[in-house]
Amino acid sequence: MAASTDNSKSLDILEAARRLFWKHGIRRVTVEEICREAGASKMTFYRAFANKVDLARAILQELFDESMKEYRAIMEQDIAFEEKVRKQLLLKSKGTRGISAELVRDIYSNQEWGLREYMEQRTEEALRVIMEDYLEARKKGWIRQDLRPDFILYIFHRMQDWITDEQLLTSYSDTQELIMEITRFFFYGILPHEQKGDER
């Protein structure tokens, strides 16, 4: 990002772009549409962002930072591990709400933009934190003792491929529904579990 996003108009641009990107993807949205939605001039846009891909990266950075902050807050709570898992599901649902298949395709299919690489880098950083927590949970008997860390990591990495699988996507009404299906499958498998709140 070329400039600080502290001023209110830059924040308006970030929020407007997020709404448009979530609905239409990145490729189909123009800088003009973002500025119109944000009530900002193109001059203001280009003072803060080099282009719309730079803006998309700033949005993803903000989302990752906020999600990890909320994740850490959940893990630090003095509650049962199962309740922490439930809250992680709710957090995942919040972060993916309204995301379109077009946005997922734009992030993961366009090699020139570098957004896939950025997502993978930030995901790896998050996974290191999550794996430490899950290994600690395994030591304490909160998750299966025979569950191998390498398998957990493998599943996490495969989950990224599943959400861009066109054949799989056609079975779901939207991308969030698929993401939540995958997330619930990771945490709970196929056995029924007690519902302690709305996970959607």
Crossing angle between the packed helical segments 175-188 and 101-109, to the nearest 10 degrees: 80
Highest mean pLDDT among 55-64, 76-85, 177-186, 189-198: 55-64
CATH topology of domain 52-188: Tetracycline Repressor; domain 2 (1.10.357)
- Residue whose structure tokens are 């939540």: 180
Picking from 43, 47, 23, 21, the residue whose alpha carbon sits closest to that of residue 34 is: 21
Positive or negative torsion for Cα 133, 139, 144, 145: positive
**pLDDT tens digits for range 44-61:** 999 999 999 999 999 999
CB 164: neighbour CB atoms within 10 A? 17
* pLDDT of 198: 47
pTM, full prediction = 0.77
Tell me the pLDDT band of 191, cut-offs 50, 70 and 90. Answer: low
Q: How high is the pLDDT of residue 175? A: 80
Most confident of 52-61, 134-143, 174-183: 52-61
Mean pLDDT computed over 166-174: 82
Assess whether pLDDT exceeds 60 at residue 111. yes
Mean pLDDT confidence for 34-38: 96
pLDDT in tens, 58-103: 999 999 999 999 999 999 999 988 888 888 878 877 777 778 888 9
